[in-house]
A and B are shown apart, each in its own frame.
Chain A
Amino acid sequence: MESKILFSNEIVEKISSRYSEDSLIKDRRLKALEIFHQLPEPKFRYGISITLDISGLDLNKINPLEISERDTVEIKAEKPVIVEDIRKAITSIPDVREYFMKAISVDNKIDAFTAAFWQNGKVVYVPKGTVLKKPIEIVSKIDSGNMMEYVLIIVDDSSEVTIIEDLSSETINTSKGEVCFSGKLAEIVVKENSIMHYASIQNLGMEFFNFVKKRAIVGADSTLNWLDCCLGSRYTRADIITRLSGRGSSTNNYGLFFGTGSQQFDLNVGTIHAERNTVCDMMTKGALNDRAKAVYTGLVKINANAANSNGYQKEDTLLLSPDAEADSIPQLEIDNNEVKCTHGATVGQVDKEKLFYLMSRGIPANESKKILVEGFFEPMIQKIAVENVQNKLREIVAERVVIR
């Protein structure tokens, strides 16, 4: 009963008027809310035996009007990059109007909830011909309860930028195992002849249920390089799909996850080849310790018109504890024969021979294991050419490799 009252159109109206939003934004919110009401409760079941536990998360307990209005997203960028609240940008930058909620289709209840009620909305606009050495930093530090945000990044023609996204939380005083919800929607548009590196590090506290949906459109001759690191939160759903919509576009989609305790990762990574001569390289590496659990669903889809495309998909998971659990579903959907497409997945333990070698050199077993796990992640960490980010990732990995 309560939920019906709580999630009415009125709430959307209230949020919209609080920020004096453009009618376009309000319309999209209302549409998302409509979808939210239509969709069934989400099921976290795949295949035969894969189940994820989201008990404790109850959207009905979240009152969108009570979420702090405080801006938790800080974006640092050099000129001429424009960083703007979306409520302003939607009228001042024509592209924002065109691309707002274009790449994302709201197809599950939780994302619909975020799409209807997000509070912080940011736009990063990289004008034509911008080449920046210094990375653009997007830092979100959540310091109170639930949070929902929207980000739109547009990289115009012939530009090259690096974006570092850092999502973390202050230790929140949660009494009696209270949980928090973090919803994030991001849309990335890379227009023609551009390169974008996009590294994101999620290291939220264990009280968070974190739902991230990222959709990218890559234009002709452009490249989008992802490095998505899932490290924190009790439960993470990271749903990242790149659409190669321009001829000669490409994406390197790298991912890294490391779970300890009873963390759960639900990772969905995909590339849609919608034009000729497109290339994707998807590679996810993860390690699971304690009772951590990960489900990886990967998809390479090559449309019928996407001749001469290459797809590569790989997932490696290391199981560091007898109670860890890894499931993978790497899928291929190929509708054109002028292509090359391969995928692979492995699940296993630290290589016994390598371990034996290190131990034969006098390194204790635990230390050897630690070295091997660090070495396992190192190639992924080196994908992002920003030193302090690399060091930060190495630190987090080292922190977590406590072999029990």
Chain B
Amino acid sequence: MQEQILEINRERYDHKNEERHLYKAKPGLNEDIIREISSSKNEPEWMLQKRLKCFEIFKKLPTPTWGPSLDELDLNKIIYFIRADAKKNSKSWEELPDDIKKTFERLGIPEAERKVLGGVGAQYESEVIYHNLRKDLENQGVVFLDCDVALQQYPELVKKYFMTSCVSPSLHKFAALHGAVWSGGTFIYVPKGVKVITPLQAYFRMNAEKMGQFEHTLIIIDEGAECHYIEGCSAPQYASSSLHAGCVEIHVLKNARARYSSIENWSRNTYNLNTKRANVDENGVIEWINGNMGSHVTMLYPTSVLRGRNAKSDYIGIAFAGKGQNQDTGTKVYHLAPNTTSTVKAKSISKDGGITTYRGLLMISKGAMNSKSSVNCDALMMDNISKSNTVPYMEVKEDKVDIGHEATVGKISEEQVFYLMSRGLSEEQATQMIVSGFIEPIVKQLPLEYAVELNRLIELEMEGSLG
């Protein structure tokens, strides 16, 4: 019964299309592939040099050993670049090949676009195949493009912000790898004072086996502007591992506000080694909403660098680890300026031997006086073979601060289950209701269709969890 439900559950993600591509790199990575990627995109020389420099750094940096084991990830077997057989950056879904169109329809993207979104980008394998922005937003000067296209159209902005002050290639091995082979992704520029109320969304889909996807998301919210950006990710299940090493850079300028939501639902053999980081200037606000459901191993720690006075970071995260999954997530906040505030709410559920870890860093640098931070982590363990770890680092170099950290780990309270059952619910319904209540504070922050999807995902994953 349980097997069957899990099948149905993943069906819309697991459907694979026949692989049709215009170009597919050989597995493994070398300088020629990097030059090939760069020249096929007709990139300026400085970007090629940047890629090659990143590759040098990648070769030098060690694989991190402090988290989940990455021993089974063979970087020489990954295919670093695939160009799908489809027109790039179509403005209409009708221009896409049928199978690809169907894939995205199954994921509900075109429908959501019609209803609630201000703009949509869709990436298939290494490149973006659909991109559209509502006219009214375009008229206000909002730029929402495939990152490859942005490099051609706005080289100055990209040169200034691409892997410079936010994510440095030497941050870690996979950031360097990303810099060497990045392709596709999203570029958003919201001009001064423009408030984008309807969210912009991108969906990243890996279809081919042993694929590596390295989309780059660069978001610049200019002074006083606002934007909400949503990212969804998925891939079908294959026998061999695939790799996702994306990079998100968000620049929140003075008085600006950015909200970044993402639900990552990679297949259960994907290594999701993602880098997300935001620089927040004076009075700026960054909000992270982060859901990690899929993948085999996730190592993801969205980072806020609060470098302007009164800057603020809110992080809400949920991680779900089922059988064979290791969700190592959390957030890093650097308080570098006075009066900066951060809140962290992290929840995790582990089940069927899954491992969830909250790994976080809170750093208050000297001079960041009157900074406030509150960190809350709650972990729910559904059974006895699962694991849950909490590893929060707090580094405080300033005395005029107020910092609190709290974490709890436990199972579903028997009393709560008993109460609900006494009101006529079955044990299974009661458990589901409690789990839904546990994730409720996070779900309600999500856009509606994601909230529904998350609820359904968790509901289905929980089904059959009781004998």
Minimum distance in angstroms from B331 CB to a CB of chain A: 13
Decide yes or no: A46 and B393 within 8 Å by CB, A334-B379, A348-B401 being known contacts.
yes
Contact A49 B407 (CB under 8 A): no
Is B435 on the interface with A (CB-CB < 8 A)?
Answer: no
Q: How far is the CA of A319 from the CA of B387 in the complex (A)?
A: 35
Instruction: Please report the C-alpha to C-alpha distance between residue A169 and residue B399 in the assembled complex, in whole angstroms.
Output: 31
Q: How many residues of B contact A (CB 8 A)?
A: 35
How far is it, in angstroms, between the C-alpha of A221 and the C-alpha of B404 when the chains are bound? Answer: 34
Complex contacts, B410 vs chain A, CB 8 Å:
337, 339-341
Q: How far is the CA of A343 from the CA of B379 in the complex (A)?
A: 12
> Residues of A contacting B99 with CB < 8 Å?
none
Q: Is B43 part of the contact surface with A, judged by Cβ < 8 Å?
A: no
Give complex CA distance A336, B257 in Å: 41
Contact B404 A322 (CB under 8 A): no
CB distance from B37 to the nearest CB of A (A): 32
Interface of A (DSSP majority class): strand
- Check if A337 sits within 8 Å of B411, measured CB to CB: yes
Contact between B384 and A345, CB atoms less than 8 A apart: no
Which B residues are CB-close (under 8 A) to A339?
A: 409-411
B interface, by DSSP: helix, strand, loop or mixed?
A: strand
Is the beta-carbon distance between A343 and B411 smaller than 8 angstroms? no
CB distance from B319 to the nearest CB of A (A): 15
- Which residues, 359 to 416 on B, are CB-close (under 8 Å) to A? 361, 363, 365, 379, 381-411
Q: How far is the CB of A324 from chain B (nearest CB, A)?
A: 6
Shortest CB-to-CB span from B61 to chain A, Å, is 16
**What are the residues of chain B within 8 A of A331 when measuring CB–CB?**
389-392
Q: With A331-B389, A332-B407, A342-B409 known to touch, is A49 a contact of B397 (CB < 8 Å)? A: yes
| Chain B: CB-nearest residue to A343 | B407
Mark interface residues in A328-363 (1 if CB within 8 Å of B CB, else 0): 111111111111111111111100000000000000
Which residues does chain A contribute within 8 Å of B386, judged by CB atoms?
Answer: 337
| A94 within 8 Å of B (CB atoms) | no
- Residues of B within 8 Å of A46, CB to CB, are 393
Chain B residues positioned under 8 Å from A319 (CB to CB): 396, 398-399, 401
Interface membership of A326, Cβ < 8 A: yes
Distance, CA A47 to CA B410, complexed state (A): 27
By a CB distance below 8 angstroms, the chain A residues around B381 are 334, 336-337
Q: Is the CB of B400 within 8 A of A349?
A: yes
Task: Please name all residues of chain A whose beta carbon is closer than 8 Å to the beta carbon of B384 when the two chains form the complex.
Answer: 304, 307, 336-338
Give, as a whole number of angstroms, the nearest-CB distance from B103 to chain A.
Answer: 37
Chain A positions within 8 Å of B388 at CB level: 332, 334
User: Among the listed B389, B394, B399, B401, which residue makes an inter-chain contact with A345, where contact means beta carbons less than 8 Å apart?
Assistant: B394
Identify which of B361, B379, B405 contacts A47 (C-beta below 8 A). B361
- Extra inter-chain contacts (18) besides given A317-B396, A327-B393, A340-B408, CB under 8 Å: A47-B393, A48-B363, A50-B393, A319-B398, A319-B399, A321-B399, A322-B400, A330-B407, A334-B389, A337-B410, A337-B411, A338-B384, A339-B409, A339-B411, A342-B406, A346-B403, A346-B405, A349-B399
Q: Which 5 A-B pairs have the closest CB atoms?
A: A337-B381, A319-B399, A332-B390, A47-B393, A337-B411
- Tell me the B residues contacting A by CB distance below 8 Å: 361, 363, 365, 379, 381-411
